[in-house]
Amino acid sequence: MAATQDEAALLSDRQLAMLAGEAAFGRGVEYYREGMVVGWNRKGATITADVEGSERYRVVLKLSKRGLDGGCDCPASEGIDFCKHCVATALAYRADQAEQTRLTEGDAAERIRAYLQQMDKPSLVEALQSLIENDPVLRQQWSLRADAVLGVLDHKALKKRITAAFPINRDLYRYGQVRAYFARAEAVVDQLAEQAPQLPADKCLTLVDYALSRMARALETIDDSGGFRFHCEATLQTLHVQTVTRLDWSPDKLAAYLYDKAFGGGEDLYPEIPDAYEEALGEAGMAAYHARLQRAWDALPELPAKAGWSEQYRYIRLRDPLFKHAEAAGDLPAMLALYRKTASNERDCLDAAELCIAHEAWDQVEPWLTRAKKAASDQHPHQQIERQRLEVRLQLQRGEAEAAAALQWDIYRHTQRLEDYRQLVAKASEHGLAVDYRQRARDWLVDRLDQSSESSFGWAPRTADSLLEIHLFEGRLAEAQALCAERAVSFWLLLQLAQVLKDPDESLPLYLRLVRHMVRQTNNQGYRDGIALLEELRDTLDTSAQRQAFEQALMQLRTEFKQKRNFITWLNEAFPA
């Protein structure tokens, strides 16, 4: 119960100083601040407490209408005088009552805390035990805590609990089922993390490995698309790194262990190996791990030309950390040696060629491009273009500008990408070539406009779009307008043209064309986008004639799309008639 106003007066600093004297009061304040009051209890008007000093002393205080009185079994009090221990006890009681008052006036959580603090120990134990017994997750958590405190939780007991925490073959797929499953498992995983520092590192590592493998087996029949396992997974992975760091194994033994985890079939269970374990491995351990990788790599034959993905995957997983290691050292020969074993793959040959260029090893570029050409596949036409782009760079390095421009022209004819066109004309201009590639590209595209077949590369732009891109890039706005008047072009290019035209008289028909396109999408987003375009157009109008033409266009849209109710509603809100 919170202290009354009368109690507050009895327990004031002034009253305590009068009872104990200034010197004893000052020492009592120090004892209270230093936390020397071990605990207090009130029964009726009597407050009892134990206070640490040169020994532990027993304090008894009594509150009554006549005032505060008390004594202690220390030599200074002998159960009669109000000593420094009595002062410390009174201050502890007073602070606790003030906290109770604050909690009582607080929110629901604080009032519950105030109530719990008033309960005696047997009542608290009974209430808590009832809650624990009726909640499986709480029962699991408190059972583990109890076993740990009571000293009956050991390595074998934890393993049994891990087994029970991850039952297998459950065929769970509903969110509620999976959530409850991993909620129970979290209690054991958290307890393992809590107890890990007290366990020998090697035994703890065995438990963490077992928990990870057990969880992986459980997930074979659990649909955890909701990610309820993530807490267990993250906790176990962090614990694994911490435990490995505690091991006193030799660098070779630790490297062998991590290599087995990385390539033993359960690599997805662990953090990235070896990067996550760099501190644990140290310089010697990292060297031992990479040496083990290198031995495994050297034992592999060259990757067959038509190897399946599973076979390729093993090569890639061995090669990538070795490549990263060599790259950090700037060791080009080592990096190229890794690529040679998988050179039946066009992608690797191209990467090796680009690597040579980056290191200015121009004498090694052509052999890699030749190997890439031999390994080329019709399934990856974009890699052919990538190879040709590298060939262009090699030809320019050799001073073969005309050949480079001719090859760049071939590239553009396949891709019809503006960037390839820009590189083409830049090379022709920079090297003063006689061929007018600007005109050649425009003529070629115009000739293709009426051809029924488009580029064999399905990802190439439509011819009309490619020609419009060039017109916009070159600033040929009149030609761009004429093309758009005759041909269907992509929305974003038409918008780009509308936005660069300075004269609203010219841009208005294009904006209206864009708006009609958006409204015909027959969805609310299209309606809003169309109105946004009209607002953009309105902000460019300068003359009364242009504004009048804009109003007439709005009337046409209202008539044309009168059945599009949402569009008409939003149009009228944006442009009141």
Ordered mean pLDDT values, 10 residues apiece, the chain (577 residues): 61 89 93 88 88 89 85 84 91 88 87 78 79 72 65 73 91 92 91 87 94 95 94 96 96 96 89 94 95 94 85 89 92 94 88 95 96 84 92 96 96 94 95 94 92 56 94 96 93 95 93 95 94 95 94 95 94 91
Element at 89 (helix H, strand E): helix 84-104
Tell me how many degrees the CA angle 168-174-178 measures, rounded to the nearest 5: 45
pLDDT of residue 544: 94
pLDDT of residue 148: 60
Taking the whole predicted model, whether its pTM rises above 0.75 is answered as no
Are β-strands 67-72 and 56-64 bridged in parallel, bridged antiparallel, or unpaired? antiparallel
Residue with tokens 């991590």: 258
Determine the distance from the C-alpha atom of residue 285 to the mean position of all C-alpha atoms in its chain, rounded to a whole number.
29
pLDDT of residue 1: 43
**CA-closest candidate to residue 29, choices 95, 96, 99, 84:** 84
- Phi and psi angles of residue 42, each rounded to the nearest 5 degrees, phi first: -120, 130
DSSP calls for 123-143:
HHHHHHHHHHHT-HHHHHHHH
Spans of all domains in the chain = 5-118, 300-398, 426-500, 503-577
* CA 253/CA 543 separation, integer angstroms: 83
- Sign of the CA dihedral running 571, 572, 574, 577: positive
Biggest CA–CA distance in the chain, Å, is 117
pLDDT of residue 418: 95
* CA 29/CA 34 separation, integer angstroms: 9
pLDDT of residue 551: 95
* CA 318/CA 316 separation, integer angstroms: 5
* CA 376/CA 372 separation, integer angstroms: 6
pLDDT of residue 2: 43
pLDDT of residue 187: 87
* CA 202/CA 204 separation, integer angstroms: 5
Q: In 10 A of CB 194, how many CB atoms?
A: 12
Radius of gyration of the chain (CA): 40
DSSP 269: G
pLDDT of residue 133: 78
pLDDT of residue 65: 78
pLDDT of residue 293: 95
Looking from the CA of 450 toward its CB, the CA atoms found within 13 Å total 4
DSSP calls for 198-238:
GS-HHHHHHHHHHHHHHHHHHHTTB--TT-TTHHHHHHHHH
